[in-house]
Structure 1
Amino acid sequence: MSDKVILRRDADGIGRLILNQPAKRNALSREMWELVPVRLAEAAADPAIRVLVVQGEGGTFAAGADISEFEAAYATRDSTAAYAGAIAGAMDGLADFVKPTIALIQGACVGGGLGLALACDLRFAASDARMGITPGKLGLVYPLGDTKRLVQAVGPSHAKDLLFTGRLLGADEALVMGLVNRVAAPDAVEAAALAYAGQITQASQYSARATKRMINRVLGGQVTDTPETVAEFLDAIEGEDFIEGRDAFRQKRPANFTFG
């Protein structure tokens, strides 16, 4: 199988989803879009992976979709729909991934690259990173799911600013806007992201995954409890992780949560 998207397993529960086409600044080919859900399925099934860090090889996150494929991909309406479906499968698969995800943004993070970063739960950026979404420069329309994730991150006014102009912005502006969660020096950002990922791996994975589901319900428009959400809360109270967390708090010791 192709190595253009790699799943790497680090110690202590951290997995890495690595975009691996550095000669093209990790421009995302159709093959890569189709590989992302495959790697995500592998990571979801691996109990040793508790949090997934998404990054690019060679100091660049991703310079966007591979423009060399555009002529063939957009040759007909059917080919366009198929290509768009492959992209949506990767974006939605990452957004719906059951475990916590962190985008490690270095160098360029543009177009579809920023779309992937927005599909992650959190984003850490190097201080010299450059980000942008450029359909306005190509005469394209940004898809609904991707637009929704952008609006959820930065609000409608900033989303319009970025999409209308296609301009690139630096990490400090992205932080103020809410596009990224943390900014660190280029030589420190990876360590910062991994240290934060380590905090997640030590917390309750049961809580983390249930929290993702709950937040996704809120983002999907749910405003009142249902029998399902009430049951999820009650199940947690009866669960092993809550019992362990409660006992650890009382005994003033680190909790030893069950992982999986």
Structure 2
Amino acid sequence: MEDQAEVGTQPISLTVRAGVATITIDRPAKKNAITAAMWSALIDAVAQVDAMADARLLVLRGAGADFSAGADIAEFETVRRDAETARSYEALNARAFAAFRNAQVPTLAVIRGACLGGGFGLAISCDLRLAAPDARFSIPAAKLGLAYPADGIRHIVWAAGPQLARYLVHSGQQISAAQALDTGLLLEIIEDEALDTRVEALAASIAATAPLTNRATKQAINALLSDNPAMMREAERLGDMTFDSEDYAEGRRAFREKRKPVFTGR
């Protein structure tokens, strides 16, 4: 059964099925360009998923032919018109990216068509990325005359590596799904007609694993990338908790009984 969650009045939808939450950017007529209000709705949607005890994976996707063409430039005359308004707008962007990056469960971006600018930022904030062959990626800041904040650049370097990050931000040029795969930006490219089936299979596989383990290891990876001692200590604490959990006892029991474990997150 699929449950539909309420996410305000913005074109952002949240559904949950068998422990897999899916957030959809649902503005296909505008290539899923994201307004300021939609950035806030994305943050709220992730918070709802974080509060779900039975959530095991969060999938992010765009409706229709595109993942997202990024921030809605039509708003920039008001919400990003100068340094002062840009700081507020970029703080909102950063909160949205951080929401996905720090979500309590693993996150998976499913990418078709345009994945540009802020859409690119959302995709690289997810732990895993699958794409159709027509996916294309770019960071057009240099073509607009604006600069991304240093924190945003850091995450581009994490995901793309320094050489590709430099190319993307300096040239503003697009790269193909094949190029993104070659650089490690993508996990896989799947033919469009098979992409949803692959997503469902991967989601089911992740949803069947131990959620406490996934939470601890996700925290550890983020701590390593951030070079953040406090985050590493938290990762160690979460890791220690797994050894006292019911899920660890279930994992050992299932191994002895030669069956698949059934994890509850406790």
Q: Specify the TM-score bucket, using the shorter chain as the normaliser.
A: over 0.9
Hey, what does 2:217 align to over in structure 1?
211
Structure-1 separation of matches of 2:33 and 2:186: 21
Give aligned-pair identity as a percent.
36
Q: TM-score, normalised by structure 2?
A: 0.91
Change in 2 beyond 3 A, CA 1:184/1:81: same
Hey, what does 1:153 align to over in structure 2?
159
Hey, what does 1:44 align to over in structure 2?
50
Structure 2 residue corresponding to 1:129, chosen from 123, 126, 135: 135
Hey, what does 1:142 align to over in structure 2?
148
Change in 2 beyond 3 A, CA 1:225/1:191: closer
Q: Which amino acid aligns with 1:45?
A: A
Change in 2 beyond 3 A, CA 1:214/1:28: same
Structure-1 separation of matches of 2:206 and 2:77: 43
Structure-1 separation of matches of 2:87 and 2:233: 38
Q: Does 1:7 align with 2:31?
A: no
**Is the Cα contact below 8 Å between 2:216 and 2:239 reproduced in 1?**
no
Structure-1 separation of matches of 2:82 and 2:231: 45
Matches within 5 A, 1:96-111: 96-111=102-117
Change in 2 beyond 3 A, CA 1:141/1:246: same
**Is the Cα contact below 8 Å between 2:10 and 2:41 reproduced in 1?**
no
1:170 Cα offset (Å): 1.0
Matches within 5 A, 1:61-72: 61-72=67-78
Hey, what does 2:201 align to over in structure 1?
195
Q: Does 1:116 align with 2:122?
A: yes
1:229 Cα offset (Å): 5.0
1:17 Cα offset (Å): 0.6
Structure-2 separation of matches of 1:116 and 1:81: 18
Aligned positions, number: 259
1:153 Cα offset (Å): 1.6
Hey, what does 1:74 align to over in structure 2?
80
1:91 Cα offset (Å): 1.1
Q: Which amino acid aligns with 1:75?
A: R
CA displacement, residues 135-181 of structure 1 (integer Å, 9 cap, x when unaligned): 12112212222212211122111110111111111111100111111
Q: Tell which has more relative contact order, 1 or 2 (C-alpha 8 A, sep 6+).
A: 1
Q: Which amino acid aligns with 1:189?
A: L
Q: Aligned to 1:127, what secondary structure does the other structure show?
A: coil
Q: Does 1:21 align with 2:34?
A: no
Q: Which amino acid aligns with 2:35?
A: S
Change in 2 beyond 3 A, CA 1:133/1:228: closer
Structure-2 separation of matches of 1:189 and 1:22: 18
Q: Which runs of 5 or more structure 2 residues have no equivalent in the other structure?
A: 1-7
Hey, what does 1:257 align to over in structure 2?
263
Q: Aligned to 2:220, what secondary structure does the other structure show?
A: helix
- The two structures, once aligned, show a CA RMSD in angstroms of 1.9
Structure-2 separation of matches of 1:40 and 1:222: 23
Structure-2 separation of matches of 1:134 and 1:158: 14
1:259 Cα offset (Å): 3.5
1:234 Cα offset (Å): 3.3
